[in-house]
Chain A
Amino acid sequence: MKKYVLISIALFSAILFLNFNNTDNSQPAKTPASPEFSIPDDVQQIIDNSCYGCHNSDSKNKKGKMKLKFDELGDLKTHKLVGKLAKISEDIKEDEMPPKKFLKNYPESELTAEQKDLFINWAESTAKSLSE
Chain B
Amino acid sequence: MSKGKIIWSIIIAVVIIIQLIPSGKPDVIESNKNDLLVNNHIPDSVSHILKNACYDCHSNETIYPWYAYIAPVSWLVSRDTKIGRENLNFSEWELLSKMDKAKMLDEIVDEVESGAMPMSIYVVMHPEAKLSMSDRDMIMNWADDFGEKLFE
- The interface size bin for chain A is 10 to 19
Do the beta carbons of B148 and A82 come within 8 Å of each other?
Answer: no
A52-81 near B? 1/0 per residue, CB < 8 Å:
000000000001001100000000011110
- Give the contact-size bracket for chain B: 10 to 19
Whether A92 sits at the interface, judged by CB under 8 Å, is no
Contact mask for chain B residues 79-103; partner A; CB cutoff 8 A; 1 contact, 0 none: 0000000000000000001111011
Q: Is B107 an interface residue (CB 8 A)?
A: yes
Given contacts A79-B147, A79-B148, A82-B99, contact A63 B106 (CB under 8 A): no
A79 partner, pick from B97, B102, B107, B110, beta carbons under 8 A: B102
Is A28 part of the contact surface with B, judged by Cβ < 8 Å? no
Q: What would 9 more interface pairs be, CB under 8 Å, given A78-B151, A80-B102, A83-B107?
A: A79-B105, A79-B106, A79-B148, A79-B151, A86-B99, A86-B102, A127-B102, A131-B98, A131-B99
